[in-house]
Structure 1
Amino acid sequence: MNKKINVAVIGAGVAAKPHILSLSDLAAEAEFSWCYSRTQSKLQELAKQLAVPPDTRLTTSMDSILGDPAVRAVLVLTPANAHLDVVRRAAQAGKHVLVEKPLEVDLQKAQEMVAVCGQHGVTLAVMFQHRLRDGAVALRTLIQNGELGTLISGSATARWWRPQSYYDEPGRGTLARDGGGVLMTQAIHTIDLLLSLTGMPDRVIGLVATSPVHRMETEDTAAALLHFANGAIVTLEATTAAYPGYAEKLALNFTGGTATLESGELVCEFADGRQLTVGEKQSSGSGANIMGFDHGAHRTVIADFLGAIREGREPQASGRSALNAQRLIDAIVESSRLGSPL
C-alpha cells in the first residue's frame, strides 16, 4: 500500500468544508496533519463542526506548517488575493499545492504562481471540480475520440442567484479581493469546463454589467460570443441575478450529434440514432445556499492531486491549464470596456 501523503489545510472559511470532508473520505491516502487560520476561534469552530481528527494540529502560524518536513502538500483555501503569497511560500518550502479557484485576482499573478511552482518542482492543482465529474470526463473522451465529429455551435449558461446579503460581506464582488464578480467567482467553473472541452476561442465579443438587483463594485451579469478557429460559435451567459438560481448548462452541437451537460449529467444524441447518458445531476450552489452541493467532485480532484504527487505527473486540473479561464475572462471584460471584439 502507498504511504499516506501528509496534507495541511490553509484557510478555515466557507471553502474549507468540502475539502475537509474529502480528506476524511480519503483517510487511507492522506493524513490531515495541520489546519491553519489567522483566527483561533474559527479553527475551533471548524474542528467542532466537521469533526476534524483529534490529532490534526490547529494553528495560527503558517510557518509551523511550512517548516514541518513531514508535510508534503497543502490545500490553499484563503481568499484569492492571498493565493500568490501563500503559494510562493509553500513552493519555496517544497510543498505541493492545490489551490481554490481562481488561481489569483489577475492573470499576471496567476502566471507567476504557475511559474514559481515550476521553478521549485512542485505540483500545482486548482479546484475546478466540474471538469472531473463523470459526465464531463465522458464528453471529453467522446470529443477526443472524434465520436461527435466537429464542433459547430453551442451555448454555456450559468444563471445563478445571490442575494444582496452575499455581496454585503466585506470583500465579496470586489476587484481587490475577488478579482471580479460573477465571471471570476461563479461562472469561472462553467468557463473552465467549456474550455477544457473546446480549447480557447480565437475571437471574443464580450459585455459585462451590474444589474439593479445588486449594489457591488464589479459585474453580476455577463455575456459573450466566442468564435473558434474552425468556425464554431459558442455563446456564454452568466449572472447572479437570476432568481432563484438555475443549474449550469453546456449545450454543444457537433457534426455527429448534440451533447448537453447539465449539473454533471451528460446526454448525447448521436446523428446515427444512438443515445447516451452518463452521470447524475448534482447541485452546485447556484441558489442562495452557496454551499448547497455534495463534496464528491472535490474528493475526485483531491484524489487526482494526490495521485499526481505519487506518480510525478500533471494533475487533471493543473495550474497551467487553469490559466485559460482567466485569459478568457480578461478578454470578455476588456472587450466590454473597449466596445469591440478581441
Structure 2
Amino acid sequence: MRRRVGVIGLGMAATPHAQSLSDLSGRVAVAGGYSPSADRRAAFAARFGLPVVERAEDLLDDPTVSAILLLTPPDTHAALVARCAEAGKHVLLEKPLDATPDGARAVVDVMERAGLTLGVVLQHRFRASAEKLAALLRDGALGAPLSAAVVVRWWRDAAYYAQPGRGMKARDGGGVLLTQAIHTLDLFVSLLGLPRDVVGFARTSGLRPIDTEDVVAAALRYDTGLLATVDATTTAFPGFPERIEIAGTAGSAVLSGDRLEVRLHSGAVIDAGGTDGTLGGGADPMAFSNQHHRAVLADFLDALDAGRPPRVSGREALKVHALIDALLRAAETGAPTTLPKDLLS
C-alpha cells in the first residue's frame, strides 16, 4: 500500500530523508513537511518539490497520515513522540532517541504503550559491507572474537557549531558519542553485543564553544573475555573513515567507512564494499549518498506492512544509548561502570 507520511523538522538532516521519500514515491506520499521556520518550509518546498504545512497539527490531526518522520533536535524528541503517539501515528525518528536517558526510555515506552511502530535512523547497519560482516560473525567465520576496536576520528568545523545549541547538553544531550559516533557504536553493538564493564575518559577540547565531550577514550570488557576499545573525537582534521576492527580466533576483519577487508587463518581473503570514503566524517556532515537512509525508510515501510518491528526499533536503539550512558558515567566518576544484566541477554 502507498502510505501518507508527514515530515516534522526541516533542518540539515532533512536532505537524505527527502531524497529517500522521492526515491520511494511509489510506496509513500508526503502529506507535508513542517518547521516552525517559514524560511525552512519555503526552502524545503523549493528544493524537493514536496508540500509543506504551517502547523504540526495539520499532520498530526490528519487521519490519512499514518506515520511521521521526526527530524527535530534531540531535546524535542520525547515531547514530540508523545504527541505522535497520542495522535496514533507511527514514527521514524532521527537519532538519538532523546537528549537524556530518561527521555530515551520515555520515547520507547510511550510508543509501545500505544501499540505503535517506532523506527530509529541508525543507517550504518544497512551498509552492504556491514551486513556482510554481520553474516560472517553469525556463521563463525572469524571464530571467537578476542579483540576489537571502534575508531571514529572525525572533524567538525566552526561553521557546524555556529547553529545555536549545537554541541550543547541542553539541546543535544551529548557530544561526539551521542551525536556522531552513535552510528558506529550502534553498528558495533549490533555485531558484538554490549559489554559487561566500561572504563573511560572524556573531555571537551576547548577548540569550540561547546559543553559536550569531543574527545573520548575507553575500554570495554565482555563476559566472553572479549576486550575492546573506543576512540572517538570530532577534533581530527580533516576527518577520517570510521572503523570497526575485530580479531578472532580464525581471522580478522576491518570495516573502514563502507569498505570491508577480511583475512582468515585459512588463507581466504574477502574484500567488499566501497572506496573507504569518510561518509560524512569531515567538515561537511552531509557528504554521503542517501542510499542507506532509503534502506532505513524502506525497512520501516516493510515493517508497517508486515506488522513487525523495524530492524532498528526503539527498544533496539536503547542498547547503544545504554553503552553511551555507561561511557559518560565512567568518564564522570573515574570508576568502572557495569551495564545492567537485562541488557546483556
* Same-fold status (TM-score > 0.5): yes
Determine the C-alpha separation between the residues in 2 that align with 1:308 and 1:190. 23
- Give 2:46's aligned residue: 48
Q: In the alignment, does 2:332 pair up with 1:334?
A: no
Instruction: Specify the code of the residue in structure 2 equivalent to 1:38.
Output: P
Instruction: Specify the code of the residue in structure 1 equivalent to 2:33.
Output: C
Structure 1 stretches of 4+ moved >3 Å: none
- Give 2:341's aligned residue: none
- Give 1:36's aligned residue: 34
The worse-fitting range, judged by mean Cα deviation, of 162-171 and 92-101 is 162-171
Deviation at 1:34, TM superposition (A): 1.3
Give 1:1-342 correspondences, 5 Å limit. 3-52=1-50, 56=51, 58-281=52-275, 282-342=277-337
Determine the C-alpha separation between the residues in 1 that align with 2:291 and 2:321. 25
Listed as ranges, the gaps of 5+ residues in structure 1 are none
Structure 2 SS opposite 1:176: helix
The worse-fitting range, judged by mean Cα deviation, of 281-290 and 34-43 is 281-290
How many equivalent residue pairs? 336
- Asked if the contact 1:155–1:236 (Cα under 8 Å) also holds between the matched residues in 2, the reply is yes
- Give 2:342's aligned residue: none
Instruction: Specify the code of the residue in structure 2 equivalent to 1:306.
Output: L
- Partner deviation per Cα, 1:219-246 (whole Å, 9 max, x = no partner): 1111110111111111110101000010
Deviation at 1:193, TM superposition (A): 0.8
Determine the C-alpha separation between the residues in 1 that align with 2:49 and 2:83. 28
- Asked if the contact 1:39–1:60 (Cα under 8 Å) also holds between the matched residues in 2, the reply is no
Determine the C-alpha separation between the residues in 1 that align with 2:174 and 2:16. 23
Determine the C-alpha separation between the residues in 1 that align with 2:152 and 2:58. 40
Deviation at 1:285, TM superposition (A): 1.1
Structure 1 SS opposite 2:202: strand
- Asked if the contact 2:172–2:179 (Cα under 8 Å) also holds between the matched residues in 1, the reply is yes
- Asked if the contact 2:153–2:231 (Cα under 8 Å) also holds between the matched residues in 1, the reply is yes
- Asked if the contact 1:206–1:331 (Cα under 8 Å) also holds between the matched residues in 2, the reply is no
Q: Percent of aligned pairs with the same residue?
A: 42
Determine the C-alpha separation between the residues in 2 that align with 1:73 and 1:256. 45
The TM-score with structure 2 as length reference comes to 0.95
- Quote the RMSD (CA, aligned, Å): 1.1
Deviation at 1:283, TM superposition (A): 4.1
